[in-house]
Amino acid sequence: MQKFVVLGLLGLCSLEDLRRRELTVFYILLFGIVGLLFHLFAPVCSIYSVLWGMVIGAVLILISLVTRGSVGMGDGILLVVTGVYLGGYENLELLMTGLFLAAIWSLGLLVLKKKKGKEEIAFVPFLLVSYLVMLVRGI
């Protein structure tokens, strides 16, 4: 059940990120509260793993503050919430695979001269694709 919630969260946030280039924190936090309730009644990983997963998102929030928004604050908040559902290792895998996919996509855009070096791209769709890869690989 929790896998479908994460899939729904990433799908909703991907659409929003593509359309508006920003995320609505209210929805993300609502999913976070649901995740905490899921963890209380049907835990899928240890509390330490959940905290480690949340720290990954917190580090991204810190990077966003230090870089004055070069990395989106919403992306960090989203990764805090996915950390509640996935735990540390899977949340790190989600982030790293998403970064890898975004880097390949960005390189392609640069080579084809569709974007310049400092232009922004939506990151959450890469997290969605990363999660889909994780789900397929887990089957």
Cβ atoms of 114 and 89 within 8 Å: the answer is no
- What is the band of 12 on the pLDDT scale with cuts at 50, 70, 90? very high
How far the first Cα of the chain sits from its last, in Å, is 15
Write the burial class of residue 108 (CB in 10 Å: 0-12 exposed, 13-18 middle, 19+ buried): exposed
Residue 77, pLDDT > 90, answer: yes
Cβ atoms of 133 and 94 within 8 Å: the answer is no
Percentage of the chain lying above the pLDDT 90 cut: 57
Q: Enter the pTM of the model.
A: 0.90
Q: How far is it, in rounded angstroms, from Cα 117 to Cα 8?
A: 31
Q: How far is it, in rounded angstroms, from Cα 71 to Cα 105?
A: 17
Cβ atoms of 32 and 84 within 8 Å: the answer is yes
